[in-house]
Structure 1
Amino acid sequence: MNAIRATLRLQFHRDFTLDDARALVDDFAALGVSHLYASPLQASRQGSMHGYDGVDPTRIDDEVGGEAALVSLVAALRARGMGLILDIVPNHLAVGGSENPWWQSVLTWGEQSPYGAFFDIDWHSPDPTLAGKLLAPFLGAPYAETLESGELALGFDAAGFHVAYHEHCFPIDPRHYGDILRFAEHNALHEQAAFFDALAQAPNPCSQAPAALSQLERVLEDPGAQASLASALALFEATSEHGATRLHALLSRQHYRLAFWR
């Protein structure tokens, strides 16, 4: 490792990329800089201007150029006898939204998630309302008020069932998909409900759920099934008393408890 004589701190983002820094290496060397000190380079929230809201520590952010651009910058630095210092802050991860797959997995599966131990979560809180649950204080108003306003919307996409709230996406545990699918008046969707119910007894439901979801997506290629699912989702619209009751019952079975941010 080269001796550190002088560092230059660079803040990387979509408007100043690794390639932009590589073009300036000769200028930095002329100033006597021995090492560049880089802001976090791991994948962060889309449009992040600082990189401290990481969403995937296993890859270099595409917005700053990705791994190829990092390799190119390091090669240019080494050619001038210079080094690179990376700012790595493990506890600076973005939660909320839907871009962090580790966080979404924890919301989906709770303590059984492969990433359940990656976060500092007290799964055994003395608060009985949080036993085995994660407190998720992302709501802009008290829970009951938010529920009745209709701002919590049950939906379905390629990742599965979820409750959307502004930019946030709170996933539904696949073991409870049957609680939704049974409201669909379509035989194939009823059959799918049984497959998801079976996950509750599966030895490793996290690994088996993707196959069941793929099968559900194939069923939903049928326009009739799509229409039936849309009708079922409408029954969970919380602007009606029965819809609010259904959505609350579904949310109460998840591994998180939504709460007012205060």
Structure 2
Amino acid sequence: MKFQQLTGPVMAKGVEDTAFYRYNRLVALNEVGGDPGVFGTSVAEFHRQNAERARRWPHELLTSSTHDTKRSEDVRARIAVLSELPREWRAAVNRWARLNRRRKTRVEGTPAPDRNDEYLFYQTLLGVWPWDVSAPDDAFVTRIEAFMIKAAREAQTHTGWVNPDAGYEDALRGFVRAALDSARPNPFLEDVATLRDLVAHIGAINALAQLLLKLASPGVPDIYQGTELWNQRLVDPDNRRPVDYPSRARLLKALHRRRPSRALARELLETKADGRIKLYLTARALAFRNAHPTLFAGGDYHPLAVEGAAAEHVAAFARRHEDDEIIVAVPRLVAGLTGKKLVDPIGPEVWGDSRLIVPGVDPGSRYRDVFSGLTMEASAGDGGATLPLATVFAELPFALLERMT
């Protein structure tokens, strides 16, 4: 019993609260319950785990942000984009290090902060930078400063909670504030802008895809407070700040007044920065779950194959229970799909003639997208009925298709 009481705290403090702040290769992987050594999951493995959960733990909790996560789901979705931009990311880090070299302070003969903390700083900036903000305000700078000090203390490399090193921490604070100083010309902030905007754009697509997978996969989805809209929060206490529920209620009420339509879908995608598209996805998917409880509680799980040039850029599955059937499809590896441009992964220009294969369904079967209201008809194909991805993703970069009876 004493050994069991000891292992949990050792794991938490030794791995999650120390090692995860030292090993900064790609900090989106450094999450509670995660393993930074596992660099991504294949679509096949994703399907295997979902199918196993459907068989063994259909009521298991599915969560992507909590009071204890190191970074919110939306921050991780942005930082993960860097894995698709290795050349751009490496070049940017080298440029930024040169631009910020003079902002370091020598502490005991060594420049501070060290390269590892500096690398964490750059990833953090791209993950949490507010939408449509070109220059950071003092509140943002204070948040980043507080996070960097906490991260340095947790890592226990140069400072710590028990024996803080005032010299190193002062150097770290000074570096953060100088790097984010927008009161005077700052080439670093100007340079950050291009990569920042691309990462935010693709990160939003990642976040929406992740959200729909959570809401439609076997299990019970959990929505953490504040994540109904974009939530660029870091570790506590940042992720425990008050949530503006009245504004969310107003936005939700306004969305409830409108029926799903292609016009609404286009509007939400074009104005994705305001977060309504995430709120809309959440509300519509949860309402659909509520209307089809047996489908989500005990429906069969069927991975769907994809044919065509864009096959590796899609994850899709079907769930079936008696006469109920849905198809869920989301894009993946978006940077490679869109040529690393600020374009949305929708329409024939992106998807060409790639298509979903839907076995066990007759050609001519009709589907309706829960989010856009768009209807489509399955065609005959070699492996079964097919749905063109240019139609599935005609208006939005995610789809929840209900088979019409």
- When normalised by structure 1's length, the TM-score is 0.29
Give 1 or 2: higher strand fraction.
1
- When normalised by structure 2's length, the TM-score is 0.21
